[in-house]
Copies of this chain bind each other. A is one copy, B any other.
């Protein structure tokens, strides 16, 4: 089982609404169970450099079946996964990548970039939560 475009659009819409609510223009990417891109949206005035980061956050989350920020806790100097970010053509290990799950099944991930990492995570989480009720 994986994610459909229709589902991705709804997830992305919910994330966009949350971004508007907190008044931060965001880049929003969604990947499927195979870590391949399903949808991407850059809100007006969102950072250009965050196009790539949003996509990488989504991929990073699915690559390791955990939210992207969990990787960053482990990849600090002296940490067990120090410099893991050079793998897979470039990972993003700070918050904003969140798994998309149906029950226990991981079917994709959402990556958000454009604000503080807390804001990115909040917006991504809103999208992921919406998926649970689809």
**Chain A positions near chain B (C-beta within 8 angstroms):** 4-6, 9, 32-44, 47-53, 56, 59-60, 62-65, 72, 75-78, 80-95, 116-117
Contacts and interface: CB of A to CB of B under 8 A. Distances in A.
Contacts of A34: 32-36, 48
Q: How many copies does the complex hold?
A: 4
B37 A40 contact: yes
A91 B42 contact: no
23 contacts: A5-B41, A5-B42, A32-B34, A33-B34, A34-B48, A36-B51, A37-B40, A37-B51, A38-B42, A39-B40, A39-B41, A39-B42, A48-B62, A49-B91, A52-B88, A56-B87, A75-B82, A75-B83, A81-B117, A83-B91, A85-B86, A86-B92, A87-B90
B80 A83 contact: no
Nearest to A83: B85
